[in-house]
Structure 1
Amino acid sequence: MRSISTNIFPSFFQSNNIPFSPLHNLHHFRSIAKVRLKWVKNRSMDHITDTQTDLKAACLIKDAIARSSTAYLTSKSLLDSQKLLGLTVPTLRFVRRYPTLFEEFAHPKYPSLPCFKLTQLGQRMHDWEIRVFNESEDDIVERLCRLLMMTRNKMLPLQAIHPLKWDLGLPDDFDRNLVRKFPDHFRVFKGTNGSNSLKLVHWPEEYSVSMLQKMNEKGIGGSIVDTSSDAVSGYGNYKRGKAALEFSMSFPRGYGAQKRVKAWMDEFQKLPYISPYEDSRAIDPNSELMEKRVVGVLHEFLWLTIYKKTKRNYLRSLREELNLPHKFTRIFTRYPGIFYLTLKCKTTTVVLREGYRRGRLVDPHPLTRLRDKLQYVMRTGLIYRNKAVDILTSLDHSFDNNVANYTKEEDIDEEDMEVTDECCDSEEEIGSEKD
């Protein structure tokens, strides 16, 4: 049985070349009651974001050293990188914290200029990471294809994708090697503004089923929307419950007991689900249908990330390409059962709740497992500074037993939630925080 994505909407080539959409002039016929929700602190997810900040910065520095022609970086080149790396301490102080990865030495020509290269252990870990990338190549191609498939023109500027490399699990040289190895999937071309963009060459139909559709496949059975012209001519012709795929929700403490909130969520879940891979430009931007579509896009995007989270600013940079409303970030606080916002490390990060259970990833990616081992190595400190071979030999055996000492699991500790009858007409307090 064909999914919604292949029934309701035109295909990729039709949506780009033929001005037709079966969702033309869809409007909402009744408003869903909304309540105003106060942001609830989740210490477990805050801790995850906090501990991974140093790990990400170390990986970025490691990659920069690895691609350097000299195989080292000078202290001068690292001075202005603190903000770029998302650090709360000066970069040089940060690098010196981890002698297991970075070795300091004097510049060959200028002895007073400190330089940093990868230690033997750091180089081994980097080689290990390259091997994981090679073994996960098909998965990387799929993630990148899905990202481009969700955009309006099936392309994105490379400058918008590069900040997402860490979150999407892309190799450092994806824009060169992947394009060369998969010319039938990707092509790089120069846009009108002079910047390079990555474009999807063809539409892989097997990727057009969203994660929510996959998870609900057994549950929804034959509940497919009728695609006849009479059935799709207006929003009122969508019957409640038809293809109304439900999002998994993990309610904060005290949330589920609120009758108004429960009624709101029940109405929301009954709305038809619009796949993020469908052309949505004809949907009324102020309709409830569009709101569920926006939730679906954000849900799918976060599923594409290997940590099921990303910075809010990264999503803002993709707003137009993903056809998101101007104030789409209010969705994160409006649906706290699906998303969580953390303000750790002087930025705002959005987390997909269903991706975690008791502070750990539900379905860890091979790259996240390797990065957990790298984080363990970072935290071992000076004890293994000159014992790279020994730690690599015992790493697989000791990691699973000892990593819990370094990645502390905390039970969810949440404050009470305020619930009122008001609808959120403006950005929530957390939504207006500066990144």
Structure 2
Amino acid sequence: MFNHSTLSSLLNTNHNSTISRVRVWFQFTASISSLKVAWRKDHKLDQAIDNDKHYRLCARVVKEVLNEPGQVIPLRYLEKRRERLRLPVRIKTFMDRNPSLFELYLDRIRPKAEAVPFVRASLGLRRFLEEEERIRGENERVVVGKLCKLLMMAKDRVVSADKLVHVKREFGFPNDLLVSLVPKYPEYFRLVGSSGEGKLFLELVSWNEEFAESVIERKAKEEESLMGIRVRPAFDVKLPSGFFLKKEMREWIRDWMELPYISPYEDASNLDQASREMEKRTVGVFHELLSLSLYKRIPVPILGKFCEEYRFSNAFSTAFTRHSGIFYMSLKGGIKTAMLREAYKDDQLIDRDPLLEIKDKFVELLDEGHRKRAEQLRAQREAIQKDMELVAKRDGELN
């Protein structure tokens, strides 16, 4: 144990190198959680979240309709769900503003009842759904790889099935992941336990070295191949403009960066939870999880659901501000969202997940509807203008 007498004996040597070693020792052994970095707003990364606001809203309403029996719903029933859908306008107004998504038709809720307006997918939306199915089929191997990686990083190579279903949107998994995908790959996945809240688990059947390479390690190999010299795997650290770190924190990060990179796929059971090495491994897991996600960002509460599987500490979210050159924690929309800095240039994603083609097709559908609506409004304005000119001309002739 390092005690007061030991410290005194070291300091009494009056040797600069010894004092330096003592300073470094204190720096390394200080509680990691006590190393604070002030949070600083990044407007461009916040804007990246804002950019998808309308898309997410439209996708939410579409999902609500498609989840109904027969994929149709009475207009008035959908209107009652506005608050839950976080829709700021009436459903009819939303449909008018996004005319490419739905169509209205009259039908009866019960036999002999009066016909009322129903909402169903438009022809354009049905075509999009066919495109989505095609894109998912072409990228099924990508999804299988992601799922394997999530299990390979987890303790005991097992993750709660409920939790995986909960993060399907973040990683681009299909809605019926456990039914449509998992049974097709018995060489990789096995469901264990019983169905019920928190009692069913997805287990990795066999380890695949193809999936055991992290993004950090792959980039190092690519650089090594290009440069012809050995490149050590390391995090890409870029502090935002105007960001300031206190000297103590700068020194801690510098020395922490010098530690060998620990792959998130390595066994971490022997690492002390409070050690620098465990911090290195945890940051590596965060980096890999964010890299595997569609938008290179994940809400912090969702990451918190995996504390047990990935051995995160209770104060895991402080790592995102402590390593502000690697991550950014957005507070946009009142939700903490961890973002990978290197994945963005200003507010745009650099390295886009192949599954984002689905979003691109959906945005194209929305844009097509917006263009048609703009054309209709312009035609209406022109018709009104012509009518006004005719009235003015007629009045002039009468006078």
TM > 0.5 between the two?
yes
Larger radius of gyration: 2
Q: Please give the TM-score of this superposition, normalised by the length of structure 2.
A: 0.75
Aligned to 2:181: 178
1:347 maps to a residue whose letter is: I
Aligned to 2:329: 341
Secondary structure at the residue paired with 1:37? Answer: coil
Within the alignment, does 1:207 sit opposite 2:211 as a pair? yes
Secondary structure at the residue paired with 2:70? Answer: coil
Aligned to 1:167: 170
- Contact kept in structure 2, 1:63 and 1:172, CA below 8 Å: no
- Contact kept in structure 1, 2:71 and 2:120, CA below 8 Å: yes
> How many pairs are equivalent?
338
Structure 1 residues 150 and 186, CA, compared in 2 at 3 Å: closer, same or farther? same
Aligned to 1:118: 121
Post-superposition CA distance 1:245-299 (Å, at most 9, x none): 3210221112378755543322121112221112212211111111111111100
Determine the C-alpha separation between the residues in 2 that align with 1:31 and 1:375. 50
- Contact kept in structure 1, 2:27 and 2:252, CA below 8 Å: no
Post-superposition CA distance 1:406-430 (Å, at most 9, x none): xxxxxxxxxxxxxxxxxxxxxxxxx
Determine the C-alpha separation between the residues in 1 that align with 2:115 and 2:106. 7
177-186 or 105-114, which moves further after superposition? Answer: 105-114
- Contact kept in structure 1, 2:220 and 2:231, CA below 8 Å: no
Secondary structure at the residue paired with 1:89? Answer: coil
Determine the C-alpha separation between the residues in 1 that align with 2:221 and 2:90. 48
Matching of residues 211-226 of structure 1 within 5 Å: 211-217=215-221
Matching of residues 413-424 of structure 1 within 5 Å: none
Determine the C-alpha separation between the residues in 1 that align with 2:370 and 2:115. 24
- Contact kept in structure 2, 1:31 and 1:288, CA below 8 Å: no
Greater helix share, structure number: 2
Report the Cα offset of residue 179 of structure 1. 1.7
1:209 maps to a residue whose letter is: E
1:47 maps to a residue whose letter is: Q
Within the alignment, does 1:127 sit opposite 2:130 as a pair? yes
Determine the C-alpha separation between the residues in 2 that align with 1:257 and 1:331. 15
Report the Cα offset of residue 356 of structure 1. 1.0
2:27 maps to a residue whose letter is: S
Determine the C-alpha separation between the residues in 2 that align with 1:366 and 1:333. 29
Within the alignment, does 1:137 sit opposite 2:125 as a pair? no
Secondary structure at the residue paired with 1:326? Answer: coil
- Contact kept in structure 1, 2:223 and 2:231, CA below 8 Å: no
Secondary structure at the residue paired with 1:320? Answer: helix
Structure 1 residues 257 and 157, CA, compared in 2 at 3 Å: closer, same or farther? closer
110-119 or 41-50, which moves further after superposition? Answer: 110-119
Determine the C-alpha separation between the residues in 2 that align with 1:93 and 1:377. 18
1:214 maps to a residue whose letter is: R
- Contact kept in structure 1, 2:57 and 2:87, CA below 8 Å: no
- Contact kept in structure 1, 2:108 and 2:115, CA below 8 Å: no
Aligned to 1:284: 272
Structure 1 residues 284 and 112, CA, compared in 2 at 3 Å: closer, same or farther? farther
335-344 or 242-251, which moves further after superposition? Answer: 242-251
Secondary structure at the residue paired with 2:270? Answer: coil
Determine the C-alpha separation between the residues in 1 that align with 2:233 and 2:27. 19
Report the Cα offset of residue 50 of structure 1. 1.8
Identity over the aligned pairs, expressed in percent? 28
Report the Cα offset of residue 199 of structure 1. 1.9
349-358 or 376-385, which moves further after superposition? Answer: 376-385
2:261 maps to a residue whose letter is: Y
- Contact kept in structure 1, 2:128 and 2:365, CA below 8 Å: no
Aligned to 1:89: 88
Specify which of 188, 199, 202 is matched with residue 198 of structure 1.
202
Aligned to 2:260: 272
- Contact kept in structure 2, 1:106 and 1:114, CA below 8 Å: yes
1:367 maps to a residue whose letter is: L
Q: Mark the runs of 5 or more structure 1 residues left unpaired by the alignment.
A: 1-27, 222-241, 388-435
Specify which of 180, 187, 190 is matched with residue 187 of structure 1.
190
Aligned to 1:331: 319
Aligned to 1:230: none
1:213 maps to a residue whose letter is: E
Aligned to 1:154: 157
Aligned to 1:19: none
Determine the C-alpha separation between the residues in 1 that align with 2:207 and 2:93. 44
Within the alignment, does 1:62 sit opposite 2:66 as a pair? no
Within the alignment, does 1:31 sit opposite 2:27 as a pair? yes
Determine the C-alpha separation between the residues in 2 that align with 1:192 and 1:180. 15
Specify which of 334, 338, 341 is matched with residue 353 of structure 1.
341
1:188 maps to a residue whose letter is: L
Determine the C-alpha separation between the residues in 2 that align with 1:93 and 1:201. 49
Q: Please give the TM-score of this superposition, normalised by the length of structure 1.
A: 0.69
Aligned to 1:17: none
Within the alignment, does 1:299 sit opposite 2:298 as a pair? no
- Contact kept in structure 1, 2:327 and 2:338, CA below 8 Å: yes
Secondary structure at the residue paired with 2:363? Answer: helix
- Contact kept in structure 2, 1:82 and 1:91, CA below 8 Å: no
Post-superposition CA distance 1:294-336 (Å, at most 9, x none): 1111001001112101111110111111111111001111111
Report the Cα offset of residue 164 of structure 1. 1.6
Higher relative contact order (CA 8 A, sep 6+): 1
Within the alignment, does 1:99 sit opposite 2:117 as a pair? no
Q: Mark the runs of 5 or more structure 2 residues left unpaired by the alignment.
A: 1-23, 376-399
Report the Cα offset of residue 376 of structure 1. 4.2
375-384 or 154-163, which moves further after superposition? Answer: 375-384
Structure 1 residues 197 and 111, CA, compared in 2 at 3 Å: closer, same or farther? farther
Structure 1 residues 159 and 111, CA, compared in 2 at 3 Å: closer, same or farther? farther
